[in-house]
Amino acid sequence: MEKAIKLVMHADKSIKIFVNEEEKYQIEAQNRSISADKLYDIFDFSIGDYYTVSSESITHIDSQVLEFFTELLKDIAKKANAIEFKSEDLGVADVE
């Protein structure tokens, strides 16, 4: 399944993270952090998923912060997209 992740920086300096246009998380301006658990929830990985990551800034403020989080998610997406599963990895016998 294709999953489009989009980070949007708002005027209040919060960053909202959307997956397929559904809001999944908000990074508050006062606490610019995200936990591994939240990242896991955002990606919600399943075999066959393919991720793209983009960003948008409404006011073009704190662009370096938005860029940092965008690059972080792009790195995770790149690694997740590279995961390949073979039927023997899943304990499934090949059917001929």
- 96 domain residue, yes or no: no
Instruction: Give the rounded distance of the alpha carbon of 45 from its chain centre.
Output: 10
Q: Cβ atoms within 10 A of the Cβ of 88, count? A: 9
- 40 domain residue, yes or no: yes
- 50 domain residue, yes or no: yes
- One-letter amino acid identity for 38? K
Tokens for 91, please give them: 């304990």
- pLDDT above 60 (res 96): no
C-beta separation of 53 from 5 below 8 A: yes
- 95 domain residue, yes or no: no
In the chain, what percentage of residues exceed pLDDT 90?
77
Residue 60's SS3 state is coil
- 25 domain residue, yes or no: yes
- 72 domain residue, yes or no: yes
Domain range for residue 27? 2-90
Query: In this predicted structure, what is the pLDDT of residue 80?
Result: 94
Sequence-distant (≥ 6) Cβ neighbours of residue 30 within 8 angstroms: none
Tokens for 51, please give them: 């991720």
Query: In this predicted structure, what is the pLDDT of residue 87?
Result: 59
Over the chain, what is the mean pLDDT?
90
How many structural domains is the chain composed of?
1
Model confidence over 50-93: pLDDT tens digits?
A: 999 999 998 888 899 999 999 999 999 999 999 887 656 555 55
Give this prediction's pTM.
0.84
Model confidence over 34-52: pLDDT tens digits?
A: 999 999 999 999 888 999 9
